[in-house]
Amino acid sequence: MTSRNKTENSDELIKLGLSCIDFLDQKKAESPVFMDLRKVNSYLDFFIIATGNSHIHCRSLAKDIEKKLHDDGFKQYGKPDYNSDWIIIDFGFLIIHIFTEDTRNYYQLEKLWGDSVRYTINEVNI
């Protein structure tokens, strides 16, 4: 699976998102959430949002999830700023947001995209 065209199956996409938030949870990310934006936005498909407990932890989470998705065969677009309070990783159909706690609370992406379907770590059953 290297592009959205090869990942059109909704069940497969949901399973991928859930596996990503499970992976981030295992890496001690705080409150990872997977959001399906397809019904509320015409140009965004999925978000993953997670919080690190320090800048070093955020950087580590970002690099680990990048490696996981690269190893799964997905193509990344652009390079994230690992020194930011908000690390954005773009895989086209999936955008991953790794925040520090203060920055996540300030921007409140979950509230901004409140009409989306959300999955939390409590719903992971892989």
State pLDDT tens for residues 3-19. Answer: 444 445 788 999 999 99
Reduced to 3 states (helix: H, G, I; strand: E, B; else coil), residue 72 is: coil
Tokens 């499970």: give the residue: 22
Q: Is 24:32 a contact under the CB 8 Å cutoff? A: yes
Number of domains in the chain: 1
Contact assessment for residue 75 and residue 2, using Cβ atoms and an 8 Å cutoff = yes
- Do residues 6 and 20 make contact, with C-beta atoms less than 8 angstroms apart? no
Q: What is the CATH number of the domain that holds 96?
A: 3.30.460.10
Cα 1 from Cα 114, distance rounded (Å): 29
pTM, to two decimals: 0.89
Distance CA 49, CA 18 (A): 12
Domain of 68?
A: 4-123
In this prediction, the residues of the chain whose per-residue pLDDT falls under 70 are 1-8, 124-126
Query: Residue 49 in contact with residue 104, Cβ under 8 Å?
Result: yes
